[in-house]
Amino acid sequence: MEKKWRCPEETLRKVPTYGEIREYVLKVGIESISLSKSVSRKALVRYATRIDRVFSYLTRNVIGPLKGFKGILQIGFYKDIASNALPEGYSIDDVVGKLLGKLRKVSVLSREYKARVSASFDSAEAKEIYREYIGRVLSIVRKLSKDIELVNRAIAELRRTPCIDPSLPVIAVAGLPQVGKSTLVSVISSAKPKSSPFPFTTKEIVMGHIDYGFSRFQILDLPGILDRPPERMNEIERKAFIAITNLANLILYLIDPSEDFYYGLESQLNLLRYFKENVKVDIIVVVNKIDKVSPERLEKVVTAASEVVPGTEIIKVSALGRIGLEELLRTLAKHIGRSSEL
């Protein structure tokens, strides 16, 4: 993980839309500007001041937030989350780069037109030059409307994303939908994700903390991932995959052992196999809902999972029934302690 880490919710601001910018700029054109009696050529000074106010607004409310957003994109996890929020075919780096590049032209125009206003013959000429300046600025912003919309879409996504502390280990709770991830996270950590009998209830990454003994670590409740390759995942699934590949020090992989589980055991084992083969992070398998199945069925599921990930620890719990949680927490603390020593 990168050392410089900033929380999106604390640093990111929405960029004003073209309509909001236009409304402000037109208001500047009619608001009164008080000047000292000693100021000569007051009309020219007023138009020059209006140019300053427009440019100051754009610097503070458009260029500033974009530069802050560009800084957040230096962190791989946040960049991937922002990119995931855009339609296919768009690059978040290209969109931000285009916006900042075009807006630099506004800086040049502001200096140029302020000089022209200051050198104008009378108030009529200054007014005409000012109106030309506003027209050119609004034309630039209007052509960037789509890019501003895309950036705001990515910013909104990042502001919903938890702030991860790079100094603390991260446990990613993964699995298919409806295996009990949210319930487990809610009973062993400070997080309170929503649980529901419907699939894909968890659409955002939810973070909590676990304090156990002398250990403290972060745990992520992730959206469910179906048994399919990353290129076929939807936006919600990709969000979970991004968190796993960018943040996880340990994967807690949940399995529902029920015979009537909608997605079946084979799909769960296939996804587990994919993680084992493609994600270079330790895995702990947690067979959840053990109070809902027979001992014979439970043994069959445990055996099947151990064949997919030989040597991996398999913990049997019931998150809802509060069964096996102490053993799970001990195992997590042991793994986290071991990884922090490496």
Q: What is the pLDDT of residues 120-157, one digit of tens each?
A: 888 899 899 999 999 999 999 999 999 999 999 999 99
Determine the Cα–Cα distance for residues 206 and 117; give it in Å rounded to an integer: 54
pLDDT beyond 60 at 249: yes
Confidence of residue 296 (pLDDT cuts 50, 70, 90): very high
Q: In percent, how much of the chain has pLDDT > 70?
A: 91
The pLDDT tens digits for 311-323 are 999 999 999 999 9
The pLDDT tens digits for 38-81 are 544 677 888 898 999 999 999 999 999 999 999 999 999 999 99
Q: What is the mean pLDDT of the chain?
A: 90
pLDDT beyond 50 at 2: no
What is the model's pTM?
0.86
Determine the Cα–Cα distance for residues 87 and 133; give it in Å rounded to an integer: 34
Which positions ≥6 away from 325 have C-beta within 8 Å? Answer: 187, 188, 317, 319
Which CATH code fits 8-159? Answer: 1.20.120.1190
Which CATH code fits 170-341? Answer: 3.40.50.300
The pLDDT tens digits for 77-119 are 999 999 999 999 999 999 999 999 999 999 999 999 999 988 9
**Could you state, in order of their start, the residue ranges of all structural domains in the chain?**
8-159, 170-341
